[in-house]
A and B are shown apart, each in its own frame.
Chain A
Amino acid sequence: MNLRLGIDVGGTNTDAVVLDERSHLLARFKAPTSADVSGGIRQALRGLVAGHPELDLGSIRYAMLGTTHCTNAILERRNLDRVGLIRVGAPATLAIKPFVGWPADLRATIGGHYAIVEGGHEYDGREIRPLDERAVREAAESFRGEVDSVAVVSVFSPVDASHEQRAGAIVRDVLGDLPITYSDQIGSIGLLERENASILNAAVTTPARVAANGFASALEEHGIDARMFFSQNDGTLMALDYATRYPILTVASGPANSIRGAAFLSGLRHAIIVDVGGTSTDVGILVNGFPRESAIAVEIGGVRTNFRMPDLISIAMGGGTRIHQNEELRIGPDSVGYRITEDARVFGGSTLTLSDVAVAAGRASMGDPDRVEGLDAKLVHDVTQWVRETCEETIDRMKTSAEPVPVVLVGGGSVVIPAELAGASEILRPDHYDVANAIGAAIAQCSGEIERIFSLEEYSRAEALEMARQMARAEAVKAGADPATVEIVDVHEVPLAYLPGNATRIRVRAAGALAVEAAS
C-alpha cells in the first residue's frame, strides 16, 4: 500500500486526510489551528490516529504539506533572515535603488544590505558589461556577519543567467555555504518585482527550514517514513529540496489547494470554486484542472512582486459573518470567525450570524435549531437573498463566457449558500467538502514553469517554443514529477512591443503526476 497524507495548516483550521493509491479517502481530521506549524501537524496526526485506529501510518509513502508559515513570517515581520542583495546591471538600473517602496519595518528586519555591480545582459543576450567580479567579491565581504542569505539579481537573467551563476559562485567562495537565491529561478521579466521576490525568498529561508524540520520530526515521531512535499501557489507540489530553495512559492498555497481539492472532489476540470470559511469567501476558477492565475502584480507584505497567484475574488462573507439589524439590515463585513461555536445563536451565544440564518432556513444543521426557530421569516428571506445576490454577482465576474458553469462549494462555511444560483449550471457540495484543502495538497501534481525572452533572429519560432517546452518539462521533473506523465499545461507568448527583430517572450508551464517509487 502506498498511502498519501495531505495536511493543510491554515490561518483558522488545520485539515488532514489520508488517501490510498486510487485516491480514495481513508481518513480525515479537522481542527482549529494551533500556535505553530509543527504543533498543528502533530495535532493533525494524533487526530487522524485517534479517529482511525485501523490506519497503518507505516504505509504512508508521500506526505504533502500546505502551510502559511512563510506568509505569516513576512506579514508579521518575525523569524525572517537577514538578506544581502547583489544586483548586477550597472551602469543600467541605478535610477531606482533596491528596496524602493518597501515598508520601512520590513526593510529594517531584513537589514537592507545591497550592492549594485557592473554586468547584466541586453534583451537579446548581449552583455551590457562584463561581470565585475571584484565588486561582487567586495560586496560579499561587506555582507560577512551581517546576512544569513544572499539574493542575486541580474538584468535580463531570464534571457541569460550566467552572470547570476558566476556571482553566486564568488559569494560562495567568500562566505562559504550560505543559501543563495537566483532571481531567474524565482520570477520573470520586470526587474524590481523579480528583485523583490528574490529578496523575500532569501528572507524566508529559515522559516521554510523550520517548517520542513517540524514536518519531518512530526512524521518521524509517528513512525511515518514518507517522501515530503510542499504545496505551492499554483496548486502543485514541490519536492522538499525544491521547496527549501524556493520557499516563497509556498505563499498562497491555501487557496490553490482548495481550488484543486474542489476539482478533485467534484471530478470537474472547469468550474467556479466557492470556498466559504468562517470570515471570508474566496471565489476562484478552475481552468483545465488548474487554478487560473492572476495577471496583475501581486503584493506580499506590502512589497510588489510578479508572482503567480490564483486569480481570486475574496468577499467578506463566511459562516460567522455577523448580521446587524439596526434601522437597516447590514451583513458583515465583521465576523465571529473561529469563535462561532461560542458566539452564534445556535450554539448558545447572542450573535446572529449567517450560519444561524442557514439553520433557520433549513439549509444547515448545527447546534440547537430551536434557538433560531423564532427568527423573523422576512429577515431570513432578506439575508438569504443577500447571500444569493452576492454569490451570483461574484460568479458572474469570474466566468469567462455567458454559458452557465458548474459551481463547487467547499469550506466549512459553505452551508450558508443557497441551493440555486443564477449563472450556475449545477451546484455541487461534494462529500468531504470541508477538508478540500488537505485533499488538494494530497492529490496535487508537480509542476515547473519557465519564462524566457527568445530572439527570433537566433531561433525559429518553432524552435524557441520547443526549447521552452523542454525547459518547462525539465522543471516539472525537478519538482518531483514522473517524466512519463508530464504534460504541457499552458503556453503563453507575448511579442515585445516596439522592437523590430521579433524578440518574443514565451512562458510555458508543465505538470505531471508525482513520481511514484516502485513498491518495495
Chain B
Amino acid sequence: MTPYTRQLVAAEVDDLAIGSALLGTGGGGDPHVGALMAHEAIERHGPVTVIPASDLESDALVAIVSMSGAPTVMTEKIPNGGEIERVLTRVAEAAGRRPDAVISVEIGGMNSVIPVVAAARTGLPLVDADGMGRAFPEFQMTAFNVAGVRFGPRFVTDEKGNMLRIDGIDAGWIERINRRALIAMGGSVITALGLSGDDVKRGAIHGTISLAVQIGAALRQARRDGNPWLDRLLEVVSAIPLFTGKVTSVDRRTEGGFARGYAVVAGLGTEADQSIRIDFQNEHLIARRLERDEPAEILITTPDLIAVLDSETGTPITTEMLHYGQRVTVVGIPSQPVWRTPRGLELAGPRYFGFDVDYVPVEVRAAAVRQSRA
C-alpha cells in the first residue's frame, strides 16, 4: 500500500510490536519492553505522526535511532530514558541542524518501536520505512548500504551516560567497532546516525511501519473474532505456509557472538512422517526437509523471511523463545527486491551465512513443490 501521512496512536503500538516480531524472523529481540516505552511516550507526549518518505526534502536530516546489543540484556537492564535525546543531540550537532524526522533501521523486532519512542519524545515525525524490511544481525545488511549511501558518524550511548562517536569508513567497519564497544558498555546501547532525505528516498524500504501495524492488527483481530489467523494474515502480506508441526529439538550454541543453531519441527496430521530443520544465526536463515535426519530439500533461504509462529494464534516466536514441544507454523514471506539483487545477495544471501546453496525465491520453490505434487 502507498504510505500516507497519519497518526500512530497508543492502541497501535502493540500491533506494531507483534507485526514487527513476525518480520523479525526469529531475531530482533522481544519488543515488549520497547512497546511499554512507546506506550508511555505516546501517553505522555501524544500520538506520533507517520509520514511517507516522499514527504521529505532531499536535504532533510533523518536520524536512524536504534537499540544495539543483546535483547536479553535490554529486557533486564531497561534504558534510562535519556539515551535517545543524547544521541539525537549529537547527530544534530554533527550536522549543524536539527533532525527533521526519525526512521527505523530494521522493522524486525525491538527496533520498530524504539523510533516510535524517539518520535513521541521529540515531536519529530516517523518515516514510514526502515532499512531492512525485516531483521538482520549486522549493520551493513541495510538497503541503505546496497544503495551506496555514505554513512556519517554514528553515536552510541549507554544508560550511564557514556558517549562514543564512530566515524567508520564503511558500514562493515561501523558494525565491527560498534559490536566491541557495546560489550564494554554493558551489552545494550542506543545509537543514532544521520541520513539525508535523499538517502532515505532512494535507499529505504518503504511502507514497512504501516505493514507491521497491519500484520499485528490482522493477528489480533483474528484472535478477537475467532477467525483463522493465516487467512487474515494473507490479506496483508504474501505469506506462504511452508510447514506445520511441533518443535522436537532445539540446538543452540554461541559462535562468533551470535546464537547459532537449528530447530527441528516434526509434522502433524497428514504430514506426521515428515520433519524440517531451520538453521538460525539470531534470525532464521534456511529451512530444509529432513530425509533420514539429514537436511535435503530446501524450502526457503535468506534473504526471504522465515517466520515461526504459534500455530494457535499466529504469535511470532523468537529464536530465544523456541523450545521443545511448541506447536508452530512456519511461514515464508518473499524478501524485498533489493535483497535479491547481486549486491543484496552478497550481503545477506545464504552464502554469506555459510550455506553453499544458490538463492531461489521462496515463491518459485513453493510453486515447484506444488508442481511436483500435482
How far, in angstroms, from A156 to B246 measured CA to CA in the complex? 33
Q: Which of A94, A123, A501 has the most CB of B within 10 A?
A: A123
Nearest-neighbor residue (CB-CB) of A287 within chain B: B325
**Cβ contact within 8 Å between B269 and A128:** no
Q: Which of B138-185 contact A (CB under 8 A)?
A: 159-161, 179-180, 183
Q: Is A285 an interface residue (CB 8 A)?
A: yes
How far, in angstroms, from A369 to B338 measured CA to CA in the complex? 72
The verdict on A501 contacting B183 (CB below 8 Å), with A94-B80, A285-B325 known, is yes
Q: Is A519 an interface residue (CB 8 A)?
A: no
Residues of A within 8 A of B202 (CB): none
**Cβ contact within 8 Å between A500 and B36:** no
Residues of B within 8 A of A402 (CB): 266-268, 272-273
The verdict on A498 contacting B77 (CB below 8 Å), with A96-B36, A100-B36, A123-B70 known, is no
Query: Per-position contact with B for A86-98: 1 when CB-CB < 8 Å, else 0?
Result: 0001111111100
**Cβ contact within 8 Å between A192 and B78:** yes
Say which residue of A100, A295, A497 sits within 8 Å of B72 (CB atoms): A497
The verdict on A494 contacting B33 (CB below 8 Å), with A295-B326, A401-B248, A504-B254 known, is no
Residues of B within 8 A of A101 (CB): 36
**Cβ contact within 8 Å between B324 and A400:** yes
Nearest chain B CB to A210 CB, angstrom units: 34
Q: Which of A456, A498, A499, A504 has the most CB of B within 10 A?
A: A498
Residues of B within 8 A of A126 (CB): 186
Say which residue of B36, B40, B78, B282 sits within 8 Å of A498 (CB atoms): B282
**Cβ contact within 8 Å between B252 and A189:** no
Nearest-neighbor residue (CB-CB) of B271 within chain A: A402
Say which residue of B37, B186, B319, B324 sits within 8 Å of A95 (CB atoms): B37
Q: Is B97 an interface residue (CB 8 A)?
A: no
The verdict on A295 contacting B267 (CB below 8 Å), with A89-B77, A122-B187 known, is no
Residues of A within 8 A of B323 (CB): 295
Nearest-neighbor residue (CB-CB) of A313 within chain B: B312
Residues of A within 8 A of B258 (CB): 497-498
Residues of A within 8 A of B27 (CB): 497
Nearest-neighbor residue (CB-CB) of A155 within chain B: B77
Nearest chain A CB to B370 CB, angstrom units: 24
**Cβ contact within 8 Å between A91 and B80:** yes
**Cβ contact within 8 Å between B253 and A500:** no
Q: Is B75 an interface residue (CB 8 A)?
A: yes
**Cβ contact within 8 Å between A91 and B161:** yes
**Cβ contact within 8 Å between B33 and A96:** yes
Residues of A within 8 A of B268 (CB): 396, 402
Nearest chain B CB to A187 CB, angstrom units: 11
**Cβ contact within 8 Å between A191 and B36:** no
Query: Per-position contact with A for B67-98: 1 when CB-CB < 8 Å, else 0?
Result: 01111110111111110000000000000000
**Cβ contact within 8 Å between A191 and B269:** no
Q: How many A-B residue pairs have CB under 8 A?
A: 151
Q: Which of A380-421 contact B (CB under 8 A)?
A: 396-397, 399-402
**Cβ contact within 8 Å between A498 and B186:** no
Say which residue of B29, B81, B183, B254 sits within 8 Å of A94 (CB atoms): B81
Q: Is B257 an interface residue (CB 8 A)?
A: yes
**Cβ contact within 8 Å between B326 and A189:** no
Q: Which of B77, B80, B82, B161 has the most CB of A within 10 A?
A: B77
**Cβ contact within 8 Å between B259 and A495:** yes
Q: Which of A135-159 contact B (CB under 8 A)?
A: 155-156
Residues of B within 8 A of A128 (CB): 77, 159-160, 186
**Cβ contact within 8 Å between A92 and B254:** no
The verdict on A191 contacting B70 (CB below 8 Å), with A497-B282, A498-B257 known, is no
The verdict on A91 contacting B160 (CB below 8 Å), with A96-B37, A399-B246, A497-B320 known, is yes
How far, in angstroms, from A295 to B180 measured CA to CA in the complex? 31
**Cβ contact within 8 Å between A295 and B321:** yes
**Cβ contact within 8 Å between A500 and B252:** no
Residues of A within 8 A of B326 (CB): 295
Q: Is A311 an interface residue (CB 8 A)?
A: yes
Q: Which of B318-343 contact A (CB under 8 A)?
A: 319-321, 323-327
Could you tell me how many residues of chain A have their Cβ less than 8 Å away from some Cβ of chain B? 49
Nearest chain B CB to A396 CB, angstrom units: 7
Nearest-neighbor residue (CB-CB) of B311 within chain A: A397
Nearest chain A CB to B32 CB, angstrom units: 8
Nearest chain B CB to A294 CB, angstrom units: 10
Nearest chain B CB to A299 CB, angstrom units: 13
Q: Which of B173-206 contact A (CB under 8 A)?
A: 179-180, 183, 186-187
Q: Which of B212-236 contact A (CB under 8 A)?
A: none
How far, in angstroms, from A126 to B70 measured CA to CA in the complex? 16
Q: Which of B69, B72, B161, B187 has the most CB of A within 10 A?
A: B72
Say which residue of A287, A296, A493, A498 sits within 8 Å of B71 (CB atoms): A498
**Cβ contact within 8 Å between A91 and B159:** yes
**Cβ contact within 8 Å between A190 and B76:** yes
Nearest-neighbor residue (CB-CB) of B137 within chain A: A498
Residues of B within 8 A of A400 (CB): 246, 248, 266, 324-325
How far, in angstroms, from A517 to B266 measured CA to CA in the complex? 47
Residues of A within 8 A of B246 (CB): 399-401
Residues of B within 8 A of A401 (CB): 246, 248, 266
Q: Is A496 an interface residue (CB 8 A)?
A: yes
Q: Is A6 an interface residue (CB 8 A)?
A: no
The verdict on A499 contacting B69 (CB below 8 Å), with A93-B77, A100-B36, A396-B268 known, is yes
**Cβ contact within 8 Å between A500 and B77:** no
Q: Which of A120, A191, A295, A494 has the most CB of B within 10 A?
A: A494
Nearest chain A CB to B269 CB, angstrom units: 7
Nearest chain B CB to A163 CB, angstrom units: 13
**Cβ contact within 8 Å between A494 and B325:** no
Residues of B within 8 A of A96 (CB): 33, 36-37, 40, 78
Nearest chain A CB to B66 CB, angstrom units: 12
Residues of A within 8 A of B282 (CB): 497-498
Residues of B within 8 A of A100 (CB): 36, 40
Q: Is A502 an interface residue (CB 8 A)?
A: yes
The verdict on A191 contacting B80 (CB below 8 Å), with A494-B259, A495-B252, A496-B70 known, is no
How far, in angstroms, from A225 to B254 measured CA to CA in the complex? 53
How far, in angstroms, from A325 to B180 measured CA to CA in the complex? 68
Q: Is B256 an interface residue (CB 8 A)?
A: yes
How far, in angstroms, from A291 to B126 measured CA to CA in the complex? 46
Residues of B within 8 A of A287 (CB): 325
Q: Is A28 an interface residue (CB 8 A)?
A: no
Nearest chain B CB to A26 CB, angstrom units: 37
**Cβ contact within 8 Å between A92 and B80:** yes
How far, in angstroms, from A155 to B258 measured CA to CA in the complex? 23
Residues of A within 8 A of B179 (CB): 500
Q: Is A69 an interface residue (CB 8 A)?
A: no
Q: Is A473 an interface residue (CB 8 A)?
A: no
Nearest chain A CB to B209 CB, angstrom units: 21
Residues of B within 8 A of A91 (CB): 80, 82, 159-161
Q: Is A77 an interface residue (CB 8 A)?
A: no
**Cβ contact within 8 Å between A500 and B256:** yes
Extra A-B contacts (18), CB below 8 Å, given A122-B187, A123-B73: A93-B79, A94-B81, A96-B37, A100-B40, A120-B77, A122-B186, A123-B187, A128-B77, A129-B160, A189-B72, A494-B320, A496-B187, A497-B27, A497-B320, A498-B68, A498-B70, A499-B73, A500-B179
17 A/B residue pairs, CB under 8 Å, sorted by A: A92-B78, A94-B80, A95-B78, A96-B78, A122-B186, A123-B70, A123-B76, A123-B77, A295-B323, A402-B267, A456-B254, A493-B252, A496-B254, A498-B68, A499-B70, A501-B183, A503-B70
Per CB-CB distance, the 5 closest pairs between chain A and chain B, nearest first, are: A500-B257, A495-B254, A95-B81, A402-B272, A92-B159
Residues of B within 8 A of A (CB): 27, 29, 33, 36-37, 40, 68-73, 75-82, 137, 159-161, 179-180, 183, 186-187, 246, 248, 252-254, 256-259, 266-269, 272-273, 282, 311-312, 319-321, 323-327
